[in-house]
Amino acid sequence: MFVALRRIHVAASDFPRSRRFYGEILGLPESGGFEDDWVEFGLGPMILKLTPLRPGEVPSRNQVALTLSTDALDATLTTLKERGVTVTRGPVDEFTGRSAEILDPDGYRIIVFQASELHPDEEWVPVSRIDEILKHRPHSGKSTARALTFRDDRLEARKAEEAKKRAEARARFDAAKARDEKRRAELAAKLEAARLKEEKKKADLKAKLEAKKAAEARRRAGKKARAEAARIAAIQKKAALRAKLEARKAAEAQKRAALKAKLEAKRAAEAQKKTELKAKLEAKKAADAKKKAELKAKLETKKAADAKKKAELRVALQTKLEAKKAADAKKKTELKAALQAKLDAKRRAEEKKRAEEKRKATERKKAEERKNAEAKKKAEAEKKKGEAQKKTAGLEAAKAKDGTKSPKKTSPMKPAKKSKQG
C-alpha cells in the first residue's frame, strides 16, 4: 500500500519563529512554500513541511520526532550551541552510530544522528536485547560470525534499495527545483525591469521637481530682494520725514521758549508795578490812619472844653467821618476800577500788539527771508526803544496821577480846623 515516507508535517505555534529556526539556525534549504501559509524544507529524499498551528490546537511534543543525519556530530553540536540551541540528550554511542537530541521552539524532539562505519547512512535505532547479548558474549564463535554476515547482507540490500529510491527522489526534486529556479529567474527579471522603469520614472519626476523647486526658489529670492529693497526705501523715507519733523518741532519749541521768556518778563514787570502800587496804597492808608489818630486826639482834647456840644459835635463828626469814609471808599473803588481798566486796556493793547507783531513777524519772515542780520538787529532796537518810550510815558503818567491825587486828600481836614477856631 505505501511506497515511501514523503514528508514530516510539523504545526508551529509561531510560524515565523519556527521558519527562522529550521531555515537560518539549522540551515535547511527551502524547497517550496506560499507566503505565511506553509513552507517545505528539502534535504535528501525527505521533506519537512511546516504550517501554522490551527486556532485551538496544542502541539503534541512527544509524538513527533525528526531525524537529521550528519558526518561530524561533535562539530554540528558545537555550531548549534554557538547559535543558541540547547542539547537535551547525548551525544550517546549506539550500535549503528552516535546520536543526540535537541528541541525546536515548540518543544518537538529532533534527533541528530551520525552513522558508524559498519552502518553508513543508517538511521539511528535503539539497540535491541539480542544485539546487546551478541555484543557482550566473548565466546560466540562461528554463530556470531554467521549472524553478523546475514545482517550485513540484509543491510546491503536495504541500502541499495534506499539509495535507488533516494536517487529517484533527488532527480524529481532537482527537476522541480530547476523549474522553480527558472520561474524565479523570469520573475526576478520582470521585477528588475519594472524596478528600473519605476526608478527611471522616479528620477524623471525628481528632476522635474528639482527644476520646479529651483525656479520657485529663484522667483522667491527675486521677490524677497524686491520686498527688501522696498522696505529699505520705506525706512529711509520714514527716517527723512522723521528728521524733518524733529527739526520742525525743535524750531517750534525754540520759538515757544522765546515767547514764553518774553511773557515771563512782562509778567514780572507787571507784578513789580502792582507791588509798587500796593506799597503806595499801604502808605496812603498809614497816612490816613495817622491823620485819624491825630483827629481823634484833637477831638478828645476838645471833648473837655466842649462838653455841652459833645453830642452835637459827635453827631456832626460822626456824620463827617461817615461821609469821609464813603468818599474814601468811593475814591478807592474808582481808583481801583480806573487802575484795573488801565491794566486791562494795557494788557489788551499788549496782546493786540503781540498778535500784530507776530503777524508782522510772520509776514516779514515770508517777505524778507533773505535780509541780513543787521536789519533784524535794527528792527529789534527800534522795538526796544518804542517799549522804553511807552514805559517812560506810563511812568510819567503814573507820577502825574499821583501828583493830582495828593492835594485832594488834604481837603477834608479844613472843616475840622474851622470848627476848632469857632
Would 157 be classed as within a structural domain? yes
List Cα–Cα distances, 59 to 10, 53, 56, 109, 255, in angstroms.
9, 8, 10, 12, 109
Would 180 be classed as within a structural domain? yes
Would 249 be classed as within a structural domain? no
Domain that holds residue 63: 7-184
Query: Where are the extended beta strands (E) located within 289-374?
Result: none
Would 152 be classed as within a structural domain? yes
3-state secondary structure of 112: strand
CB hemisphere CA count around 229 (13 angstroms):
5
Q: Tell me which DSSP letter residue 21 carries.
A: I
Rounded to 5 degrees, φ, ψ at 38 are -165, 160
The per-type count for the chain, helices as H runs and strands as E runs, is: 7, 8
Give pLDDT, residue 127: 36
Nearest-5° angle of CA 47, CA 26, CA 35?
60
Rounded to 5 degrees, φ, ψ at 346 are -65, -40
Per-state percent for the chain, helix, strand, coil, to nearest 5 = 70, 10, 20
Give pLDDT, residue 3: 44
Say if strands 97-103 and 87-93 run parallel, antiparallel, or are unpaired: antiparallel
Would 345 be classed as within a structural domain? no
3-state secondary structure of 54: coil
**Residue that is written with C-alpha cell 510819567 in the block:** 396
Q: Tell me which DSSP letter residue 118 carries.
A: S
- Run of H or E residues at 38: strand 38-43
Encoded amino acid at 228, one letter: E
**Tens-digit pLDDT profile for residues 14-29:** 889 989 998 888 888 8
From first to last of the 422 residues of the chain, give the pLDDT tens digit: 234 555 687 878 888 998 999 888 888 888 888 777 888 888 777 788 888 876 776 666 544 667 788 888 899 899 999 998 888 888 888 766 788 888 888 887 787 878 776 554 443 333 333 344 444 444 444 444 554 565 567 677 777 877 787 787 778 777 877 887 888 788 888 888 888 988 898 899 999 999 999 999 999 999 999 999 999 999 999 999 999 999 999 999 999 999 999 999 999 999 999 999 999 999 999 999 999 999 988 888 888 777 787 778 778 888 888 998 999 899 889 888 888 988 888 888 888 888 888 888 888 888 888 888 787 888 888 888 888 888 888 888 888 877 765 554 444 444 444 444 43
Would 29 be classed as within a structural domain? yes
CATH of the domain at 164: 3.10.180.10
3-state secondary structure of 418: helix
Q: Tell me which DSSP letter residue 116 carries.
A: -
Q: How many domains does the chain have?
A: 1
What DSSP string runs through 250-307? HHHHHHHHHHHHHHHHHHHHHHHHHHHHHHHHHHHHHHHHHHHHHHHHHHHHHHHH-S
Would 422 be classed as within a structural domain? no
Rounded to 5 degrees, φ, ψ at 98 are -120, 145
Would 12 be classed as within a structural domain? yes
**Tens-digit pLDDT profile for residues 283-323:** 999 999 999 999 988 888 888 777 787 778 778 888 888 99
**Tens-digit pLDDT profile for residues 314-333:** 788 888 889 989 998 998 89
Rounded to 5 degrees, φ, ψ at 282 are -65, -40
Mention every residue, 6+ apart, whose C-beta is less than 8 A from residue 46.
5, 6, 7, 8
